[in-house]
């Protein structure tokens, strides 16, 4: 083992000292700096051979040389196979975010379309997250917008309901969706269960890629309706065929020779990267997304693409084929790892000709154009951040700005919101909401709400990143308010020992007009920016975004509270029994006044539960 004083030494000699402790096992290694921060995570088929390559003083690229020069210690984990090492490596990279690794920064889940199977009349809806509901799932779609567009057109074609089961059960007449010809109104018996099931089967055929059969069937029905002089029905069928065509047109790419694949294309330029991913399922294009992994100027395409694939599919199910713009370093190993995850064979292909190569060319063009737009936006953002630093006397342009706002109605359903901006624009995956918990707060006490939000924020930061090495700490706080809010926030920052973070209060100025904002700082005179200053517009955008996020969070909380009833507080009364009680009595208030024998008469409510419900309301006075 290296001697105990290696913590103050760095470089290839430190690495060399580990060789005597290693053998030829596969595994994962970590390189750490003198502050024990992880610089790099790598995997190796043979740990000793891989580490010995770093122990050489020469022959490395500039990036690897800098990494070796900063290495003060190493950590090792052996695995049974190199495939296990590959999976562990990508998992650790996502967790630890090492400085010298290629890092995928956007890790959102993708939405699906769900056709439910828990009701006689199936519901079609957007679904995101774990697949716990009974039904058939179709996806992934690249974005919520791609799902919504497809759902919108599918409702016009197949007239399936999108309302919740509770709303379905409560309907006594058709809703607006039926009036605008988006639903067949099964809730009020406008269509038989058999006919509805037939349209559900057609919708599932379309989502499975068998749309030609459906179009032929609809065309035949339209012709029959015309011959029978049922012109209104024929017109409705014509509109459904048109809507089906619009779905296919909007999808753009609909390959003939590829039924299930992700098309992954990489464009590298000036030390930046864009990876474009197209999702092909059931022979249909279900949207595309662009990603901008963190890379360095000396990283090659095979390393970037391998790191992207490993991290991208760490928590996602891979398709049967990945069509790649570049070969990766360990293609066979990656294919084995993904096949093991999926439970069936996954192929990694780099097509050179034919339709698959054309698909790659299209994705590459998208990646190139997206990166050009991103680089232009980044240059503009860099100028704005430099302007913020100059306006508020900051030593450097901020890399992380946190903006806070509160939202409530007379103190009810109060929430706090935090948005984050930096060199890459709005960092929406970093946004946070805070349900205000303070029972002792006076309704509408904005000072108290802001105090609670910031106390919780600083406590979390001190726990998760005490030495400020993970990039979670802000360089600048923007607070909605004037001198009073700034003073209150400053006292909280002193309490937590973080008063070295710059903080600015943004207050509406004269007549509360946008453009006349005043900026308050601790110990400094009130400042204003000229009316047409781009920095002023930038700060207004940040404040408005925080306000939008806070309002949206508040409305969601209020909507949830509106749907809540005292029945939610009774143990044993789940969603199904709640629906049964409300359907039987008409309202929660009527349930609270019901006699014990009436409660026992409700379908699905046992004698014991009826006594529990009765006792709950009568014990409450």
Buried b (16+ CB within 10 A) or exposed e, 498-510: beeebbbbbbbbe
Residue 254: pLDDT band (50, 70, 90) is: low
DSSP string, 272-311: EEEEEEEEEETTEEEEEEEE--B--TT--HHHHHHHHHHH
Query: Across 176-180, 199-203, 452-456, 472-476, which has the greatest mean pLDDT?
Result: 472-476
Encode pLDDT of 437-454 as tens digits.
765 555 556 777 888 889
- Rounded Cα distance between 331 and 337, Å, is 10
How high does pLDDT run on average in the chain?
86
Q: What is the pLDDT, as a whole number, of residue 363? A: 93
Please give the model's pTM, rounded to 2 decimal places: 0.72
> 442-471 in b/e burial notation, b at 16+ Cβ within 10 A?
eeebbbbbbbbbbeebbeebeeeeeeeeee
What are the pLDDT digits (tens) for 467-494? 887 788 999 999 988 888 898 899 999 9
CATH class in words for 566-619: mainly alpha
| Best CATH choice for the domain 260-372 from the list 3.40.50.620, 3.30.420.340, 3.40.50.450, 3.90.400.10 | 3.30.420.340
Instruction: Quote the CA–CA distance of 438 and 329 in Å, as a whole number.
Output: 54
Q: What is the 3-state secondary structure (H, E, C) of 158-220?
A: HCCECCCHHHHHHCCCCCHHHHCCCCCCHHHCCCCHHHHHHHHHHHHHHHCCCHHHHHHHHHH
Q: For domain 401-561, is the CATH number 3.30.420.340?
A: yes
pLDDT at 340 over 60: yes
Q: How far is CA 220 from the centre of its chain?
A: 43
| Residues 264-280: tens digit of each pLDDT | 999 999 889 999 999 99
pLDDT higher than 70, residue 6: no
Instruction: Assess whether pLDDT exceeds 70 at residue 513.
Output: no
Query: Which has more pLDDT, 306 or 442?
Result: 306
| Cβ(516)–Cβ(482) below 8 Å | no
Residue 454 CA to residue 491 CA, distance in Å, equals 11
| d(C-alpha 608, C-alpha 602), whole Å | 13
* Cα–Cα distance list, 117 to 158, 495, 577, 586 (Å): 17, 55, 19, 27
**Residue 260 β-bridge partners:** 281
Residue 393, sorted as left (phi over 0), alpha (psi -120 to 50) or beta, turns out to be left
Q: How far apart are CA 275 and CA 311, in angstroms?
A: 13
Q: Of the candidates 438, 424, 551, 547, which has an alpha carbon nearest to the alpha carbon of residue 105?
A: 424
Query: What's domain 4-96's architecture?
Result: 3-Layer(aba) Sandwich (3.40)
Residues 435, 472: contact at Cβ < 8 Å?
Answer: no
- Residue 109 CA to its chain's centroid (Å): 5
Find the helix or strand (DSSP H, E) in which 504 lies: strand 502-507
Distance CA 166, CA 565 (A): 14
Residue ranges of domains in the chain: 4-96, 115-250, 260-372, 401-561, 566-619
Residue 9 and residue 72 in contact, taking contact as beta carbons nearer than 8 Å: yes
* Angle, helices 483-495/446-464, rounded to nearest 10 degrees: 30
Query: CB-based contacts of 617: which residues, under 8 Å, 6+ apart?
Result: 566, 591, 592, 593
pLDDT value for 621: 42
CA distance 374 to 503: 29
Question: Across residues 215-235, what is the average pLDDT?
Answer: 81
- Edge-to-edge order in the sheet of strand 260-269: 284-291, 272-281, 260-269, 321-324, 347-349
In three-state form (DSSP H/G/I as H, E/B as E, the rest C), the secondary structure along 227-260 is HCCCHHHHHHHHHHHHHHHHHHHHCCCCCCCCCE
Q: Are 419 and 402 in contact (CB under 8 A)?
A: yes
Q: Give the pLDDT confidence score for residue 246 in this predicted structure.
A: 66
| Per-residue model confidence (pLDDT) at position 342 | 85
Structure confidence at residue 266 (pLDDT): 96
Coil, strand, or helix at residue 3? coil
**84 contacts 62 by C-beta, under 8 angstroms:** no
Whether pLDDT at 241 is above 70? yes
For residue 116, what are the β-bridge partners?
135
349-366 average pLDDT score: 93
Chain-centre distance for alpha carbon 582: 35
Torsion of CA 91, 96, 98, 104, to 10 degrees: 50
Of the ranges 16-25, 390-399, 436-445, 515-524, which one carries the lowest mean pLDDT score? 436-445
Neighbours of 511 (CB within 10 A): 6
Residues 51, 70: Cα–Cα separation, whole Å: 15
Task: Assess whether the previous peptide bond of 254 is cis (omega < 30° from 0).
Answer: no
The pLDDT tens digits of the residues spanning 39-90 come to: 999 999 999 999 999 999 888 888 899 999 999 999 999 999 999 999 999 9
Kindly indicate the confidence band of residue 3, based on its pLDDT and cuts at 50, 70 and 90: very low
**What confidence score (pLDDT) does residue 555 get?**
76
The closest of 405, 410, 422 to 505, measured between CA atoms, is: 405
């Amino acid at each position: 083992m290296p001697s105990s004083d290696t913590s103050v030494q760095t470089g290839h000699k430190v690495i060399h000292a580990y060789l005597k402790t290693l053998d030829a096992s596969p595994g994962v290694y970590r390189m750490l700096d003198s502050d024990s921060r992880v610089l790099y995570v790598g995997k190796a088929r043979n740990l000793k051979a891989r580490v010995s390559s770093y122990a050489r003083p020469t022959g490395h690229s500039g990036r690897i040389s800098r990494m070796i020069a900063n290495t003060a210690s190493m950590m090792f984990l052996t695995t049974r196979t190199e495939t296990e090492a590959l999976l562990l490596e990508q998992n650790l990279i996502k967790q630890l975010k090492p400085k010298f690794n290629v890092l995928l920064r956007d890790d959102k889940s993708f939405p699906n379309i769900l056709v439910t199977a828990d009701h006689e009349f199936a519901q079609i809806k957007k679904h995101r997250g774990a697949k716990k509901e009974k039904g058939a799932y179709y996806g992934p779609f690249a974005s919520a917008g791609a799902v919504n567009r497809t759902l919108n057109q599918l409702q016009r074609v197949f007239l399936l309901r999108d309302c919740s089961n509770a709303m379905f059960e409560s309907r006594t007449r058709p809703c607006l969706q039926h009036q605008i010809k988006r639903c067949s109104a099964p809730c009020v018996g406008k269509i038989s269960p058999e006919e509805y099931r037939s349209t559900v089967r057609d919708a599932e055929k379309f989502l499975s890629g068998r749309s030609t059969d459906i179009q032929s069937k609809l065309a035949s029905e339209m012709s029959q309706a015309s011959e029978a002089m049922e012109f209104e029905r024929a017109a409705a069928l014509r509109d459904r065929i048109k809507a089906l065509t619009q779905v296919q047109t909007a999808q753009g790419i609909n390959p003939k020779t590829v039924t299930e694949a992700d098309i992954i294309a990489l464009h590298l330029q000036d030390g930046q990267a864009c990876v474009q991913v197209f999702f092909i399922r059931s022979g249909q294009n279900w949207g595309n997304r662009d990603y901008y992994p963190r890379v360095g100027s000396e990283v090659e395409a095979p390393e970037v693409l391998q790191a992207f694939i490993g991290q991208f599919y760490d928590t996602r199910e891979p398709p049967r084929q990945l069509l790649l713009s570049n070969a990766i370093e360990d293609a066979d190993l990656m294919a084995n790892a993904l096949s093991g995850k999926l439970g069936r064979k996954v192929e990694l292909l780099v097509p050179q000709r034919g339709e698959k190569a054309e698909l790659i060319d299209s994705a590459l063009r998208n990646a190139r154009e997206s990166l050009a737009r991103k680089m232009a936006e980044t240059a503009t953002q860099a100028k704005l951040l430099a302007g913020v630093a100059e306006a508020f006397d900051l030593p450097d342009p901020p890399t992380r700005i946190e903006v806070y706002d509160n939202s409530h109605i007379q103190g009810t359903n109060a929430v706090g919101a935090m948005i984050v901006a930096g060199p890459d624009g709005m960092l929406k995956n970093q946004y946070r909401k805070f349900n205000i918990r303070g029972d002792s707060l006076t309704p509408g006490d904005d000072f108290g709400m802001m105090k609670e939000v910031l106390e919780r924020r600083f406590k979390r930061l001190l726990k998760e990143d005490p030495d400020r090495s993970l990039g979670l700490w802000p360089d600048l706080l923007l607070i909605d308010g004037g001198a009073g809010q700034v003073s209150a926030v400053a006292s909280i920052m002193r309490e937590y020992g973080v008063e070295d973070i710059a903080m600015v209060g943004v207050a509406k100025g004269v007549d509360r007009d946008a453009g006349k904002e005043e900026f308050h700082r601790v110990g400094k005179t009130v400042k204003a920016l000229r009316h047409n200053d781009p920095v002023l517009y930038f700060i207004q955008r940040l404040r408005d975004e925080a306000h939008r996020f806070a309002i949206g969070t508040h409305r969601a909380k209020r909507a949830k509270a509106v749907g809540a009833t005292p029945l939610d507080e009774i143990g044993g009364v789940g969603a199904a029994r709640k629906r049964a009680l409300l359907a039987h009595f008409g309202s929660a208030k009527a349930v609270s006044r019901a006699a014990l024998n009436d409660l026992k008469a409700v379908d699905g409510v046992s004698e014991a539960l009826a006594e529990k419900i009765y006792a709950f309301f009568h014990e409450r006075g």
